[in-house]
Structure 1
Amino acid sequence: MHHLTVCLVEPSRAQGQIIQHHLQELGISYIDHVETGATALERIHEQPRPDIVISAMYLADMTGAELVMAMRQDERVREMPFVLVSSETRPQQLDAIRQAGAMAILPKPFTPQQLDKAIGSAIDYLNVDETRGDLEELDLDTKRLLLVDDSSVSRHFMRTVLERFGFCDIVEAENGREAISLMGYGQHFDLIVTDYNMPEMDGRDFIEYVRTTSHLTSVPILMVSGEQDKQRLAAVEDAGVSAICDKPFDLSTLRHLISQFL
Protein backbone atom coordinates (compact mmCIF):
# COMPACT_ATOMS: atom_id res chain seq x y z
CA MET A 1 0.00 0.00 0.00
CA HIS A 2 2.89 2.39 0.56
CA HIS A 3 3.31 2.62 -3.23
CA LEU A 4 -0.27 3.81 -3.80
CA THR A 5 -1.25 7.37 -4.70
CA VAL A 6 -4.78 8.36 -3.67
CA CYS A 7 -6.84 11.30 -4.91
CA LEU A 8 -9.23 12.10 -2.06
CA VAL A 9 -12.25 14.20 -3.08
CA GLU A 10 -13.89 15.54 0.06
CA PRO A 11 -15.41 19.04 0.49
CA SER A 12 -15.07 18.98 4.28
CA ARG A 13 -11.56 19.60 5.55
CA ALA A 14 -12.38 17.89 8.84
CA GLN A 15 -13.72 14.79 7.09
CA GLY A 16 -10.77 14.89 4.72
CA GLN A 17 -8.33 14.86 7.63
CA ILE A 18 -10.14 11.91 9.23
CA ILE A 19 -10.02 9.87 6.01
CA GLN A 20 -6.38 10.80 5.41
CA HIS A 21 -5.53 9.65 8.92
CA HIS A 22 -7.13 6.26 8.29
CA LEU A 23 -5.35 5.92 4.96
CA GLN A 24 -2.03 6.74 6.59
CA GLU A 25 -2.69 4.07 9.23
CA LEU A 26 -2.92 1.57 6.35
CA GLY A 27 0.50 2.70 5.16
CA ILE A 28 -0.63 5.05 2.36
CA SER A 29 1.36 8.27 2.41
CA TYR A 30 0.77 9.72 -1.08
CA ILE A 31 -2.61 11.43 -0.70
CA ASP A 32 -3.83 14.42 -2.73
CA HIS A 33 -6.83 16.04 -1.04
CA VAL A 34 -9.08 18.11 -3.33
CA GLU A 35 -12.47 19.58 -2.56
CA THR A 36 -14.36 19.65 -5.88
CA GLY A 37 -15.11 17.29 -8.72
CA ALA A 38 -13.60 19.64 -11.30
CA THR A 39 -10.32 19.79 -9.39
CA ALA A 40 -10.34 15.99 -9.10
CA LEU A 41 -10.81 15.61 -12.87
CA GLU A 42 -7.85 17.93 -13.43
CA ARG A 43 -5.69 16.07 -10.91
CA ILE A 44 -6.31 12.57 -12.29
CA HIS A 45 -4.97 13.70 -15.67
CA GLU A 46 -1.74 15.03 -14.21
CA GLN A 47 1.43 12.95 -14.03
CA PRO A 48 2.01 10.91 -12.04
CA ARG A 49 -1.63 9.90 -12.09
CA PRO A 50 -3.22 8.67 -8.85
CA ASP A 51 -3.92 4.96 -8.55
CA ILE A 52 -7.28 5.31 -6.78
CA VAL A 53 -9.97 7.97 -6.41
CA ILE A 54 -11.87 8.11 -3.11
CA SER A 55 -14.79 10.54 -3.16
CA ALA A 56 -17.70 11.83 -1.14
CA MET A 57 -21.15 11.72 -2.76
CA TYR A 58 -22.07 15.40 -2.53
CA LEU A 59 -19.51 17.89 -3.79
CA ALA A 60 -19.93 21.62 -4.42
CA ASP A 61 -20.01 21.28 -8.21
CA MET A 62 -21.24 17.72 -8.85
CA THR A 63 -22.08 14.43 -7.19
CA GLY A 64 -19.78 11.48 -6.75
CA ALA A 65 -21.95 9.65 -9.31
CA GLU A 66 -21.34 12.40 -11.87
CA LEU A 67 -17.62 12.31 -11.09
CA VAL A 68 -17.26 8.56 -11.63
CA MET A 69 -19.39 8.72 -14.80
CA ALA A 70 -17.10 11.45 -16.16
CA MET A 71 -14.15 9.20 -15.41
CA ARG A 72 -15.75 6.18 -17.09
CA GLN A 73 -16.45 8.20 -20.25
CA ASP A 74 -12.81 9.28 -20.57
CA GLU A 75 -10.62 6.57 -22.13
CA ARG A 76 -7.51 7.92 -20.40
CA VAL A 77 -8.81 7.30 -16.87
CA ARG A 78 -11.91 5.13 -17.33
CA GLU A 79 -10.33 2.11 -15.66
CA MET A 80 -9.08 3.99 -12.57
CA PRO A 81 -10.53 2.42 -9.37
CA PHE A 82 -13.19 4.50 -7.62
CA VAL A 83 -14.37 4.23 -4.00
CA LEU A 84 -17.34 6.17 -2.59
CA VAL A 85 -17.51 7.30 1.05
CA SER A 86 -20.97 8.57 1.93
CA SER A 87 -23.75 8.53 4.51
CA GLU A 88 -26.21 8.19 1.60
CA THR A 89 -28.26 4.98 1.85
CA ARG A 90 -31.02 5.45 -0.74
CA PRO A 91 -30.62 2.73 -3.39
CA GLN A 92 -31.71 5.01 -6.23
CA GLN A 93 -28.94 7.48 -5.35
CA LEU A 94 -26.29 4.76 -5.13
CA ASP A 95 -27.32 2.81 -8.23
CA ALA A 96 -25.29 4.97 -10.63
CA ILE A 97 -22.21 4.38 -8.48
CA ARG A 98 -22.81 0.62 -8.55
CA GLN A 99 -23.39 0.60 -12.32
CA ALA A 100 -20.22 2.57 -12.98
CA GLY A 101 -18.09 -0.11 -11.38
CA ALA A 102 -17.10 1.30 -8.02
CA MET A 103 -14.66 -0.83 -6.04
CA ALA A 104 -16.60 -0.19 -2.84
CA ILE A 105 -19.25 2.01 -1.23
CA LEU A 106 -18.24 2.89 2.32
CA PRO A 107 -20.57 4.40 4.93
CA LYS A 108 -19.81 7.45 7.04
CA PRO A 109 -18.40 6.68 9.51
CA PHE A 110 -16.59 3.58 8.26
CA THR A 111 -14.45 1.12 10.19
CA PRO A 112 -10.74 0.62 9.50
CA GLN A 113 -11.60 -2.92 8.39
CA GLN A 114 -14.07 -1.61 5.80
CA LEU A 115 -11.50 0.82 4.42
CA ASP A 116 -8.83 -1.88 4.36
CA LYS A 117 -11.15 -4.19 2.40
CA ALA A 118 -12.06 -1.43 -0.08
CA ILE A 119 -8.42 -0.54 -0.74
CA GLY A 120 -7.58 -4.24 -0.99
CA SER A 121 -10.27 -4.69 -3.65
CA ALA A 122 -8.83 -1.76 -5.61
CA ILE A 123 -5.34 -3.27 -5.38
CA ASP A 124 -6.73 -6.61 -6.61
CA TYR A 125 -8.20 -4.78 -9.60
CA LEU A 126 -4.94 -2.97 -10.33
CA ASN A 127 -2.96 -6.21 -10.07
CA VAL A 128 -5.53 -8.61 -11.52
CA ASP A 129 -3.21 -9.59 -14.39
CA GLU A 130 -0.69 -10.82 -11.83
CA THR A 131 -3.14 -12.58 -9.51
CA ARG A 132 -5.05 -14.74 -11.99
CA GLY A 133 -2.71 -17.72 -11.69
CA ASP A 134 -5.43 -19.94 -10.21
CA LEU A 135 -7.46 -19.42 -13.41
CA GLU A 136 -4.75 -20.22 -15.94
CA GLU A 137 -5.43 -23.97 -15.90
CA LEU A 138 -9.02 -23.25 -17.01
CA ASP A 139 -7.86 -21.96 -20.43
CA LEU A 140 -10.25 -19.02 -20.27
CA ASP A 141 -9.01 -17.78 -23.62
CA THR A 142 -10.85 -20.74 -25.18
CA LYS A 143 -14.12 -20.13 -23.27
CA ARG A 144 -17.08 -18.18 -24.64
CA LEU A 145 -18.91 -15.83 -22.30
CA LEU A 146 -22.23 -13.98 -22.66
CA LEU A 147 -22.37 -10.65 -20.77
CA VAL A 148 -25.87 -9.18 -20.31
CA ASP A 149 -26.34 -5.68 -18.86
CA ASP A 150 -28.31 -2.64 -20.04
CA SER A 151 -25.63 -0.20 -18.82
CA SER A 152 -22.79 0.24 -21.32
CA VAL A 153 -20.62 1.67 -18.56
CA SER A 154 -21.23 -1.36 -16.35
CA ARG A 155 -20.61 -3.73 -19.27
CA HIS A 156 -17.31 -2.04 -20.07
CA PHE A 157 -16.13 -2.31 -16.47
CA MET A 158 -17.21 -5.95 -16.20
CA ARG A 159 -15.64 -6.77 -19.56
CA THR A 160 -12.37 -5.19 -18.44
CA VAL A 161 -12.29 -7.38 -15.32
CA LEU A 162 -13.18 -10.53 -17.27
CA GLU A 163 -10.58 -9.84 -19.94
CA ARG A 164 -7.94 -9.33 -17.26
CA PHE A 165 -8.93 -12.70 -15.84
CA GLY A 166 -8.15 -14.21 -19.24
CA PHE A 167 -11.43 -14.29 -21.21
CA CYS A 168 -11.06 -13.34 -24.87
CA ASP A 169 -14.40 -14.32 -26.45
CA ILE A 170 -17.04 -12.13 -24.79
CA VAL A 171 -20.41 -11.47 -26.44
CA GLU A 172 -22.48 -8.55 -25.10
CA ALA A 173 -26.25 -8.00 -24.90
CA GLU A 174 -28.24 -5.06 -23.47
CA ASN A 175 -31.09 -7.11 -22.00
CA GLY A 176 -32.47 -10.62 -21.72
CA ARG A 177 -34.39 -10.46 -24.98
CA GLU A 178 -31.30 -9.48 -26.97
CA ALA A 179 -29.33 -12.18 -25.17
CA ILE A 180 -31.87 -14.81 -26.23
CA SER A 181 -31.49 -13.72 -29.85
CA LEU A 182 -27.75 -14.38 -29.52
CA MET A 183 -28.36 -17.87 -28.14
CA GLY A 184 -29.67 -19.43 -31.34
CA TYR A 185 -29.15 -23.13 -31.92
CA GLY A 186 -25.53 -23.88 -32.67
CA GLN A 187 -24.38 -21.04 -30.41
CA HIS A 188 -22.49 -22.23 -27.35
CA PHE A 189 -21.54 -20.31 -24.19
CA ASP A 190 -19.48 -21.63 -21.29
CA LEU A 191 -20.66 -18.95 -18.84
CA ILE A 192 -23.38 -16.27 -18.66
CA VAL A 193 -22.94 -13.14 -16.53
CA THR A 194 -26.11 -11.05 -16.21
CA ASP A 195 -27.55 -8.04 -14.42
CA TYR A 196 -31.01 -8.09 -12.81
CA ASN A 197 -32.74 -4.80 -13.66
CA MET A 198 -32.98 -4.46 -17.45
CA PRO A 199 -35.69 -3.26 -19.87
CA GLU A 200 -37.76 -5.60 -22.08
CA MET A 201 -36.62 -8.73 -20.20
CA ASP A 202 -35.01 -8.62 -16.76
CA GLY A 203 -32.46 -11.02 -15.32
CA ARG A 204 -34.97 -13.29 -13.59
CA ASP A 205 -37.05 -13.86 -16.71
CA PHE A 206 -33.92 -14.38 -18.77
CA ILE A 207 -32.56 -16.98 -16.36
CA GLU A 208 -35.90 -18.77 -16.32
CA TYR A 209 -35.85 -18.91 -20.12
CA VAL A 210 -32.31 -20.29 -20.18
CA ARG A 211 -33.16 -22.99 -17.64
CA THR A 212 -36.51 -24.06 -19.08
CA THR A 213 -36.56 -23.29 -22.82
CA SER A 214 -33.09 -22.84 -24.26
CA HIS A 215 -30.62 -25.51 -25.39
CA LEU A 216 -28.15 -24.26 -22.75
CA THR A 217 -30.07 -25.38 -19.69
CA SER A 218 -26.94 -26.42 -17.78
CA VAL A 219 -24.73 -23.40 -18.50
CA PRO A 220 -23.48 -21.66 -15.31
CA ILE A 221 -25.22 -18.30 -14.77
CA LEU A 222 -23.75 -15.63 -12.51
CA MET A 223 -25.88 -12.62 -11.62
CA VAL A 224 -23.92 -9.46 -10.73
CA SER A 225 -26.42 -6.87 -9.53
CA GLY A 226 -27.03 -4.06 -7.11
CA GLU A 227 -30.56 -5.35 -6.47
CA GLN A 228 -31.25 -5.36 -2.71
CA ASP A 229 -34.85 -6.64 -2.61
CA LYS A 230 -34.71 -10.04 -0.91
CA GLN A 231 -37.94 -11.28 -2.49
CA ARG A 232 -36.67 -10.49 -5.98
CA LEU A 233 -33.35 -12.17 -5.26
CA ALA A 234 -35.17 -15.22 -3.91
CA ALA A 235 -37.12 -15.37 -7.17
CA VAL A 236 -33.82 -15.29 -9.08
CA GLU A 237 -32.57 -18.22 -7.01
CA ASP A 238 -35.79 -20.12 -7.76
CA ALA A 239 -35.30 -19.41 -11.47
CA GLY A 240 -32.01 -21.31 -11.36
CA VAL A 241 -29.16 -18.83 -11.04
CA SER A 242 -25.84 -20.45 -10.15
CA ALA A 243 -24.67 -17.61 -7.87
CA ILE A 244 -25.37 -13.94 -7.11
CA CYS A 245 -22.71 -11.27 -6.62
CA ASP A 246 -23.49 -7.83 -5.26
CA LYS A 247 -22.37 -4.60 -6.92
CA PRO A 248 -19.75 -3.55 -5.98
CA PHE A 249 -18.28 -7.05 -6.05
CA ASP A 250 -15.12 -8.47 -4.53
CA LEU A 251 -12.69 -9.63 -7.21
CA SER A 252 -11.46 -12.60 -5.20
CA THR A 253 -15.07 -13.80 -4.79
CA LEU A 254 -15.70 -13.40 -8.51
CA ARG A 255 -12.47 -15.24 -9.34
CA HIS A 256 -13.42 -18.08 -6.98
CA LEU A 257 -16.91 -18.44 -8.48
CA ILE A 258 -15.57 -18.56 -12.04
CA SER A 259 -13.09 -21.21 -10.97
CA GLN A 260 -15.92 -23.23 -9.43
CA PHE A 261 -18.16 -22.91 -12.48
CA LEU A 262 -15.57 -23.83 -15.09
Structure 2
Amino acid sequence: MAQLAPGDLSILLVEPSAVQRKVIIKHLEQESITQIEEAEDISSARAKILQHIPDLVVSALHFSDGTGLDLLHHIRYSEPYADVPFMLVSSEWRKTQLEEFKQAGVVAILPKPFDSDHLATAINSTIDLLSADELNLDLFDVQDVRVLVVDDSRLARNHIKRVLTNLGVQRITEAQDGAQAKAILADQMFDLVVTDYNMPEVDGRELTEFIRQQSQQSHIPVLMVSSEANDTHLANIEQAGVNAICDKPFEPQMVKQILFSLLNQ
Protein backbone atom coordinates (compact mmCIF):
# COMPACT_ATOMS: atom_id res chain seq x y z
CA MET A 1 0.00 0.00 0.00
CA ALA A 2 1.32 3.45 -0.96
CA GLN A 3 2.21 5.78 1.90
CA LEU A 4 -0.42 8.42 2.59
CA ALA A 5 0.56 12.03 1.94
CA PRO A 6 -0.87 15.11 3.70
CA GLY A 7 -2.71 16.02 0.50
CA ASP A 8 -4.64 12.74 0.71
CA LEU A 9 -6.23 13.66 4.02
CA SER A 10 -9.78 14.95 4.43
CA ILE A 11 -10.17 17.32 7.37
CA LEU A 12 -13.18 18.45 9.38
CA LEU A 13 -12.32 21.81 10.95
CA VAL A 14 -14.60 22.71 13.87
CA GLU A 15 -14.06 26.30 15.00
CA PRO A 16 -16.65 28.94 16.00
CA SER A 17 -14.63 31.90 14.70
CA ALA A 18 -14.65 32.47 10.94
CA VAL A 19 -11.38 34.40 11.28
CA GLN A 20 -9.71 31.52 13.11
CA ARG A 21 -11.02 29.04 10.54
CA LYS A 22 -9.36 31.06 7.78
CA VAL A 23 -6.07 31.13 9.70
CA ILE A 24 -6.09 27.39 10.32
CA ILE A 25 -7.12 26.62 6.73
CA LYS A 26 -4.18 28.69 5.50
CA HIS A 27 -1.83 26.60 7.66
CA LEU A 28 -3.41 23.37 6.39
CA GLU A 29 -3.09 24.48 2.78
CA GLN A 30 0.60 25.13 3.39
CA GLU A 31 0.82 21.43 4.26
CA SER A 32 -0.85 20.63 0.89
CA ILE A 33 -4.18 19.81 2.57
CA THR A 34 -7.12 21.11 0.56
CA GLN A 35 -9.94 18.66 1.39
CA ILE A 36 -11.36 20.69 4.28
CA GLU A 37 -14.94 20.76 5.58
CA GLU A 38 -15.91 23.50 8.04
CA ALA A 39 -18.26 23.49 11.03
CA GLU A 40 -18.89 26.27 13.54
CA ASP A 41 -20.40 24.26 16.40
CA ILE A 42 -20.84 20.75 17.79
CA SER A 43 -24.21 20.01 16.20
CA SER A 44 -23.08 20.92 12.69
CA ALA A 45 -19.85 18.95 13.18
CA ARG A 46 -21.81 15.85 14.15
CA ALA A 47 -24.04 16.26 11.10
CA LYS A 48 -21.06 16.58 8.78
CA ILE A 49 -19.40 13.47 10.26
CA LEU A 50 -22.57 11.50 9.55
CA GLN A 51 -22.45 12.65 5.93
CA HIS A 52 -18.74 11.96 5.48
CA ILE A 53 -16.23 10.44 7.91
CA PRO A 54 -13.09 12.60 7.84
CA ASP A 55 -9.51 11.38 8.25
CA LEU A 56 -8.93 13.96 10.98
CA VAL A 57 -11.05 16.27 13.13
CA VAL A 58 -9.38 19.57 14.06
CA SER A 59 -11.37 21.22 16.83
CA ALA A 60 -11.40 24.25 19.10
CA LEU A 61 -12.29 23.85 22.78
CA HIS A 62 -15.29 26.14 23.38
CA PHE A 63 -18.54 26.33 21.38
CA SER A 64 -21.99 27.80 21.92
CA ASP A 65 -23.48 24.29 22.22
CA GLY A 66 -20.73 22.45 24.10
CA THR A 67 -17.01 21.80 24.18
CA GLY A 68 -14.42 20.05 22.10
CA LEU A 69 -14.40 17.34 24.76
CA ASP A 70 -18.10 16.72 24.12
CA LEU A 71 -17.34 16.28 20.43
CA LEU A 72 -14.37 14.03 21.15
CA HIS A 73 -16.46 11.78 23.41
CA HIS A 74 -19.21 11.63 20.80
CA ILE A 75 -16.67 10.45 18.24
CA ARG A 76 -14.95 7.95 20.52
CA TYR A 77 -18.21 6.31 21.59
CA SER A 78 -19.79 6.17 18.14
CA GLU A 79 -19.38 3.59 15.41
CA PRO A 80 -18.17 3.52 12.71
CA TYR A 81 -15.99 6.58 13.36
CA ALA A 82 -14.71 5.91 16.88
CA ASP A 83 -11.10 5.75 15.68
CA VAL A 84 -11.05 9.03 13.76
CA PRO A 85 -7.95 11.00 14.87
CA PHE A 86 -8.72 14.18 16.80
CA MET A 87 -6.57 17.30 17.14
CA LEU A 88 -7.31 20.05 19.66
CA VAL A 89 -6.37 23.66 18.86
CA SER A 90 -6.75 25.83 21.95
CA SER A 91 -5.20 28.64 23.97
CA GLU A 92 -6.07 26.65 27.12
CA TRP A 93 -2.99 25.87 29.22
CA ARG A 94 -4.40 24.49 32.47
CA LYS A 95 -3.40 20.87 32.93
CA THR A 96 -6.76 19.82 34.40
CA GLN A 97 -8.56 21.13 31.32
CA LEU A 98 -6.26 19.32 28.90
CA GLU A 99 -5.79 16.04 30.76
CA GLU A 100 -9.06 14.47 29.57
CA PHE A 101 -8.08 15.13 25.97
CA LYS A 102 -4.74 13.42 26.52
CA GLN A 103 -6.45 10.48 28.21
CA ALA A 104 -8.83 10.10 25.27
CA GLY A 105 -5.96 9.66 22.83
CA VAL A 106 -5.81 12.88 20.84
CA VAL A 107 -3.25 12.94 18.07
CA ALA A 108 -2.04 16.39 19.16
CA ILE A 109 -2.84 19.45 21.26
CA LEU A 110 -1.80 22.59 19.43
CA PRO A 111 -1.61 26.01 21.09
CA LYS A 112 -3.17 29.16 19.71
CA PRO A 113 -1.32 30.48 17.82
CA PHE A 114 0.62 27.44 16.54
CA ASP A 115 3.48 27.35 14.06
CA SER A 116 4.09 25.24 10.95
CA ASP A 117 6.35 22.78 12.81
CA HIS A 118 3.61 22.04 15.37
CA LEU A 119 1.11 21.35 12.62
CA ALA A 120 3.49 19.28 10.48
CA THR A 121 4.27 17.02 13.46
CA ALA A 122 0.56 16.55 14.17
CA ILE A 123 -0.23 15.78 10.53
CA ASN A 124 2.58 13.23 10.40
CA SER A 125 1.24 11.59 13.55
CA THR A 126 -2.19 11.40 11.91
CA ILE A 127 -0.72 9.71 8.84
CA ASP A 128 1.12 7.27 11.10
CA LEU A 129 -2.16 6.41 12.85
CA LEU A 130 -3.89 5.79 9.55
CA SER A 131 -1.05 3.71 8.07
CA ALA A 132 0.33 0.31 9.02
CA ASP A 133 4.12 0.41 9.44
CA GLU A 134 5.31 -2.91 10.84
CA LEU A 135 8.26 -2.78 13.18
CA ASN A 136 11.20 -4.91 12.00
CA LEU A 137 13.08 -6.47 14.90
CA ASP A 138 16.40 -8.31 14.79
CA LEU A 139 15.68 -10.86 17.52
CA PHE A 140 12.10 -11.98 16.86
CA ASP A 141 8.90 -11.35 14.91
CA VAL A 142 6.95 -8.33 16.14
CA GLN A 143 3.72 -10.32 15.71
CA ASP A 144 4.92 -12.64 18.49
CA VAL A 145 5.61 -9.82 20.95
CA ARG A 146 3.35 -10.14 24.02
CA VAL A 147 2.34 -6.72 25.34
CA LEU A 148 0.41 -5.80 28.49
CA VAL A 149 -1.30 -2.40 28.18
CA VAL A 150 -2.26 -0.86 31.53
CA ASP A 151 -4.43 2.25 31.76
CA ASP A 152 -7.57 3.11 33.71
CA SER A 153 -8.96 4.96 30.67
CA ARG A 154 -10.56 2.71 28.04
CA LEU A 155 -10.13 5.44 25.46
CA ALA A 156 -6.42 5.70 26.23
CA ARG A 157 -6.03 1.92 26.00
CA ASN A 158 -7.77 1.92 22.64
CA HIS A 159 -5.43 4.60 21.33
CA ILE A 160 -2.33 2.77 22.56
CA LYS A 161 -3.59 -0.50 21.08
CA ARG A 162 -4.19 1.17 17.74
CA VAL A 163 -0.63 2.51 17.64
CA LEU A 164 0.80 -0.89 18.61
CA THR A 165 -1.38 -2.75 16.11
CA ASN A 166 -0.18 -0.46 13.31
CA LEU A 167 3.37 -1.46 14.25
CA GLY A 168 2.48 -5.13 13.81
CA VAL A 169 1.86 -6.07 17.46
CA GLN A 170 -0.97 -8.60 17.65
CA ARG A 171 -0.75 -10.18 21.09
CA ILE A 172 -2.11 -7.44 23.34
CA THR A 173 -3.62 -7.95 26.80
CA GLU A 174 -5.38 -5.12 28.64
CA ALA A 175 -5.51 -4.22 32.33
CA GLN A 176 -7.80 -1.54 33.69
CA ASP A 177 -5.38 -0.51 36.44
CA GLY A 178 -2.19 -1.48 38.21
CA ALA A 179 -3.93 -3.86 40.59
CA GLN A 180 -5.43 -5.89 37.75
CA ALA A 181 -2.07 -5.81 35.96
CA LYS A 182 -0.36 -7.38 38.96
CA ALA A 183 -2.84 -10.26 38.91
CA ILE A 184 -2.38 -10.77 35.16
CA LEU A 185 1.41 -10.74 35.49
CA ALA A 186 1.18 -13.53 38.03
CA ASP A 187 -0.45 -15.81 35.42
CA GLN A 188 0.96 -14.71 32.06
CA MET A 189 4.36 -13.92 30.59
CA PHE A 190 4.99 -10.75 28.59
CA ASP A 191 7.71 -9.19 26.49
CA LEU A 192 6.70 -5.61 27.25
CA VAL A 193 4.51 -3.62 29.62
CA VAL A 194 3.08 -0.27 28.51
CA THR A 195 1.56 1.49 31.51
CA ASP A 196 0.01 4.81 32.38
CA TYR A 197 1.38 6.62 35.40
CA ASN A 198 -1.75 8.12 37.00
CA MET A 199 -4.05 5.26 38.05
CA PRO A 200 -6.12 4.58 41.19
CA GLU A 201 -4.99 2.12 43.87
CA VAL A 202 -1.78 0.99 42.16
CA ASP A 203 -0.20 3.63 39.92
CA GLY A 204 2.41 3.12 37.23
CA ARG A 205 5.37 3.64 39.53
CA GLU A 206 4.05 1.14 42.08
CA LEU A 207 3.36 -1.36 39.30
CA THR A 208 6.90 -0.97 37.99
CA GLU A 209 8.33 -1.46 41.48
CA PHE A 210 6.21 -4.62 41.82
CA ILE A 211 7.54 -5.92 38.50
CA ARG A 212 11.14 -5.20 39.44
CA GLN A 213 11.03 -6.42 43.04
CA GLN A 214 8.28 -9.03 43.42
CA SER A 215 7.32 -10.55 40.07
CA GLN A 216 8.82 -13.47 38.18
CA GLN A 217 9.35 -11.11 35.22
CA SER A 218 11.70 -8.61 36.83
CA HIS A 219 13.65 -7.90 33.63
CA ILE A 220 10.67 -7.18 31.39
CA PRO A 221 10.90 -3.76 29.65
CA VAL A 222 8.47 -1.18 30.98
CA LEU A 223 7.34 1.80 28.89
CA MET A 224 5.71 4.44 31.06
CA VAL A 225 3.15 6.76 29.47
CA SER A 226 2.81 9.99 31.40
CA SER A 227 1.40 13.45 30.81
CA GLU A 228 3.63 14.82 33.59
CA ALA A 229 6.29 17.28 32.45
CA ASN A 230 7.96 18.00 35.78
CA ASP A 231 11.62 16.94 35.69
CA THR A 232 11.68 15.87 39.34
CA HIS A 233 8.55 13.80 38.84
CA LEU A 234 10.02 12.09 35.77
CA ALA A 235 13.24 11.39 37.65
CA ASN A 236 11.25 9.64 40.37
CA ILE A 237 9.50 7.52 37.74
CA GLU A 238 12.86 6.52 36.24
CA GLN A 239 14.14 5.49 39.66
CA ALA A 240 11.27 3.01 39.92
CA GLY A 241 12.88 1.01 37.11
CA VAL A 242 11.10 2.05 33.92
CA ASN A 243 13.07 1.59 30.70
CA ALA A 244 11.52 4.49 28.80
CA ILE A 245 9.01 7.31 29.26
CA CYS A 246 6.62 8.44 26.55
CA ASP A 247 4.52 11.58 26.74
CA LYS A 248 0.82 11.85 26.03
CA PRO A 249 -0.29 12.27 23.26
CA PHE A 250 1.15 8.86 22.32
CA GLU A 251 2.98 9.69 19.05
CA PRO A 252 3.44 6.68 16.73
CA GLN A 253 6.93 7.47 15.41
CA MET A 254 8.28 8.14 18.89
CA VAL A 255 6.73 4.90 20.11
CA LYS A 256 8.24 3.01 17.17
CA GLN A 257 11.71 4.29 18.01
CA ILE A 258 11.29 3.45 21.70
CA LEU A 259 9.99 -0.07 21.02
CA PHE A 260 12.79 -0.78 18.55
CA SER A 261 15.31 0.24 21.21
CA LEU A 262 13.65 -1.73 24.03
CA LEU A 263 12.92 -4.95 22.12
CA ASN A 264 16.21 -5.18 20.25
CA GLN A 265 18.30 -5.19 23.41
TM-score grouping bracket, smaller chain normalisation? over 0.9
* CA–CA distance in structure 2, aligned partners of residues 229 and 216 of structure 1: 29
One-letter amino acid of the structure 1 residue matched with residue 66 of structure 2: M
Partner of residue 134 from structure 1, selected from 121, 133, 136: 136
* CA–CA distance in structure 1, aligned partners of residues 230 and 104 of structure 2: 20
Counterpart contact for 2:146–2:171, Cα < 8 Å: yes
Partner of residue 43 from structure 2, selected from 30, 38, 48: 38
Show CA shifts across 1:143-202 (max 9, x none): 2111100001111111122122222221111111111111115x2100000000000111
1:257 to partner: Cα distance:
1.0
Counterpart contact for 1:10–1:56, Cα < 8 Å: yes
Q: Which moved more, 1:248-257 or 1:160-169?
A: 160-169
Counterpart contact for 1:6–1:31, Cα < 8 Å: yes
One-letter amino acid of the structure 2 residue matched with residue 150 of structure 1: D
Distance 1:168 1:57, change over 3 A: same
1:209 to partner: Cα distance:
1.1
Q: Give the equivalent residue in structure 1 for 2:217.
A: 216
- Long gaps (5+) in structure 1: none
Q: What does residue range 166-185 of structure 1 map to in structure 2 within 5 Å?
A: 166-184=168-186
* CA–CA distance in structure 2, aligned partners of residues 72 and 200 of structure 1: 26
Please say if 1:101 is aligned against 2:105.
yes
One-letter amino acid of the structure 1 residue matched with residue 236 of structure 2: A
Distance 1:118 1:204, change over 3 A: same
Partner of residue 116 from structure 2, selected from 105, 108, 112: 112
Secondary structure in 2 aligned to 1:84?
A: strand
Q: Give the equivalent residue in structure 1 for 2:26.
A: 21
One-letter amino acid of the structure 2 residue matched with residue 22 of structure 1: H
Counterpart contact for 2:160–2:250, Cα < 8 Å: no
TM-score by structure 1 length? 0.94
- Long gaps (5+) in structure 2: 1-5
Q: Give the equivalent residue in structure 2 for 1:56.
A: 60
Aligned length, in residue pairs = 258
Secondary structure in 1 aligned to 2:225?
A: strand
1:135 to partner: Cα distance:
5.1
One-letter amino acid of the structure 2 residue matched with residue 155 of structure 1: R
Q: Give the equivalent residue in structure 2 for 1:248.
A: 249
Show CA shifts across 1:54-102 (max 9, x none): 0001111111112111111112111111111000011110011101111
Counterpart contact for 1:135–1:165, Cα < 8 Å: no
TM-score by structure 2 length? 0.93
Counterpart contact for 1:138–1:259, Cα < 8 Å: no
1:37 to partner: Cα distance:
1.3
Distance 1:103 1:135, change over 3 A: farther
* CA–CA distance in structure 2, aligned partners of residues 65 and 195 of structure 1: 21
1:134 to partner: Cα distance:
3.3
One-letter amino acid of the structure 1 residue matched with residue 102 of structure 2: R
Q: Give the equivalent residue in structure 1 for 2:3.
A: none
* CA–CA distance in structure 2, aligned partners of residues 181 and 99 of structure 1: 24
Q: What does residue range 228-247 of structure 1 map to in structure 2 within 5 Å?
A: 228-247=229-248
* CA–CA distance in structure 2, aligned partners of residues 20 and 135 of structure 1: 40
